[in-house]
């Protein structure tokens, strides 16, 4: 049975140092998304790859900060394959080096965007759990998948309690649930790395979502991008 909330990967740098990659904590994800804007406006693949290298260096501030002190130092330890591995695990930016599609287009199409999320609101709701002393500590502690699963669990527990109390009064809270569930769609987007746009999309069934459903990507299923 799968129990992972997100995917991790161990990679070797060019000096054979091994590091474990995982989704960026929110603190670093904010920096990453700012740098990723330069990928979107890049003029051709050379500029896009250069901008992606800077994005990968931002990721190293979390994994191995001593080689993120400058772009020159960073480039002593990495090559293009390493950059692509970092981007995929850290922020869900998946690039197939063998594809004929432009690198910029692959990066922009696969890159997760949180521009339409009210992140401050989500963080404030999780902060009420009383685990972190301030928001800086929260953003240092949680990645987006961790934030969403923590918030999801808290909401589910709260809803089940309200549902039980309502049932005691003869009220069925599920009776009129016909509207579109924006929360479920947001979770689907997070757990699919920005690829799923609907809660029923198969790409949403990864990690903890796959575990709950009893199947999914990462549990004997996978997918690949063709073309």
Question: How far from the centroid of its chain's Cα atoms is residue 7's Cα?
Answer: 10
- Per-residue pLDDT, 212: 46
Cβ-contact 227, 101 below 8 angstroms: yes
CA 221/CA 217 separation, integer angstroms: 5
- Per-residue pLDDT, 169: 75
Residue of 118, 134, 117, 105 lying closest to 44 (CA atoms)? 105
- Per-residue pLDDT, 130: 87
Structure tokens at 22: 């995982």
CA 221/CA 6 separation, integer angstroms: 15
Calculate the alpha carbon distances from 20 to 8, 10, 15, 101, 213 in Å.
Answer: 7, 4, 15, 29, 28
Identify the residue whose tokens are 């850290």: 90
CA 115/CA 41 separation, integer angstroms: 16
Mind listing the pLDDT tens digit of every residue in the chain (227 residues)? 445 667 889 999 999 999 999 999 999 999 999 999 999 999 999 999 999 999 999 999 999 999 999 999 999 999 999 999 999 999 989 999 889 999 999 998 886 555 666 788 888 888 988 889 999 999 999 998 888 888 888 888 777 777 777 777 777 767 655 544 666 666 666 656 555 555 444 445 454 444 444 434 333 334 444 44
Residue of 143, 150, 16 lying closest to 89 (CA atoms)? 143
Which three-class secondary structure state does DSSP give residue 21? strand
Backbone angles phi, psi at 20, to 5 degrees: -100, 125
Backbone angles phi, psi at 143, to 5 degrees: -90, 175
- Per-residue pLDDT, 162: 75
Residue of 14, 62, 58 lying closest to 35 (CA atoms)? 58
- pTM of the full predicted structure? 0.69
- Per-residue pLDDT, 217: 38
């Amino acid at each position: 049975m799968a129990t992972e909330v997100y995917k991790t990967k161990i990679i070797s740098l060019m000096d054979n140092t091994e590091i474990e990659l995982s989704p960026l904590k929110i603190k670093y994800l904010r920096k990453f998304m700012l740098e990723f804007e330069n990928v979107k406006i890049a003029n051709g693949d050379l500029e896009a790859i250069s901008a992606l290298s800077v994005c990968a260096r931002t990721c190293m501030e979390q994994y191995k900060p001593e080689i993120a002190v400058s772009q020159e130092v960073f480039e002593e330890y990495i090559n293009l394959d390493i950059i692509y591995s970092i981007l995929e695990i850290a922020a869900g930016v998946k690039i197939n080096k063998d594809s004929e599609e432009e690198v910029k287009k692959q990066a922009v199409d696969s890159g997760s965007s949180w521009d339409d999320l009210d992140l401050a609101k989500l963080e404030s709701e999780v902060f009420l759990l009383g685990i972190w002393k301030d928001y800086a500590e929260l953003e240092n502690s949680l990645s987006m998948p961790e934030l969403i699963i923590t918030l999801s669990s808290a909401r589910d527990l709260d809803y089940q309690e309200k549902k039980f109390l309502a049932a005691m009064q003869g009220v069925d809270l599920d009776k009129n649930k016909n509207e579109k569930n924006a929360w479920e769609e947001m979770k689907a987007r997070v757990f699919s790395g920005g690829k799923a746009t609907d809660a029923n999309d198969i790409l949403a069934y990864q990690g903890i979502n796959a575990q709950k459903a009893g199947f999914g990507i990462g549990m004997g299923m996978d997918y690949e991008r063709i073309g």
